[in-house]
Amino acid sequence: MSMEAIVRVTAAESEAKAAVQAAEAKARQKLEEAEAAGRAAVEAAAAKADAELRELRLKAEEKYRSDAAAQMETLEGRKAALRASAGEKLDQAAALIVERIVNN
């Protein structure tokens, strides 16, 4: 092999080695960029999920309070009706007791 051929082969090897190193560096950079973008996307999704969860909790608590208030109203109405009914029956029972005592 002539000296010129050896120089060309050596130069070609150097160029190939430099191209491989540049490609590897570019690939590492792209990988780092993709990982950073992935982390940012995951963090953004987690933040969005947290915000949605807080909103859902607030809505659930609001609905719970509304439902509880409505149920308390219903129960208070029932309680008043039962007290009125019990009062009437108490009067009837007292009259019946008095009637039995007087008739005996």
Domain ranges of the chain: 1-77
- Residues 35, 101: Cα–Cα separation, whole Å: 94
- Residues 74, 66: Cα–Cα separation, whole Å: 13
What are the pLDDT tens digits along the chain (104 aa)? 688 878 888 888 989 999 999 999 999 999 999 999 999 999 999 999 999 999 999 999 999 999 999 999 999 999 999 999 888 888 888 888 888 888 86
Q: How many residues does the chain have?
A: 104
- Residues 94, 100: Cα–Cα separation, whole Å: 10
